Homo-oligomer: A and B are copies of this chain.
Amino acid sequence: MIPPFDDTYFMKQALVEASLAARKGEVPVGAVIVCRNRIIARAHNQTELLNDPTAHAEILAITSAAHTIGSKYLTNCALYVTVEPCAMCAGAIGWSHLSTLVYGSADEKRGFRQYAPHALHPKTIVKSGVLEKECTDIMTDFFRKLR
């Protein structure tokens, strides 16, 4: 069966990235960027490995996607990320003009809805709650094991 290219499919791919982060001891956030049903970039949080506070999944994915398509504007692309982006990442999504942002679980502590609610481009469509339980569980498991 050909897998259906829907929000669930692409969020599962972002979850694969989040799992890779968890295995490396990174806070498990994963992201993919999709253009016309093709994944053009995939990334996971690497702040520890790269020793870089800016190395969030979304930032790495946006940089990679811009290189792939040869434009700093990702106007016809969608970003799938397992957790609600922070202010920094929302700002980056804003600059990149991504057409759609889809996130899994909400981040009540550091999410952009609280810290930078107008940082996205006004035309960017936002969807939330896709595979919310899976996206929340991988974070909860990670922090439970740390304690």
Residues on A lying within 8 angstroms of B by beta carbon are 47-48, 51-55, 59, 62-63, 66-67, 70-73, 86-92, 94-96, 115-116, 118-119
Contacts and interface: CB of A to CB of B under 8 A. Distances in A.
Contacts of A52: 62-63, 66-67, 72
A118 to B, nearest CB: 6
Contact of A89 (B55, B63, B73, B91): B91
Contacts of A90: 87-88, 91
Contact of A54 (B47, B51, B86, B95): B95
Number of copies: 2
Contacts of A115: 91, 116, 118-119
A105 to B, nearest CB: 19
Contacts of A48: 72
Given A87-B119, A115-B116, A92 B53 contact: yes
A108 to B, nearest CB: 14
A142 B8 CA distance: 45
Given A88-B94, A91-B115, A116-B87, A53 B62 contact: yes
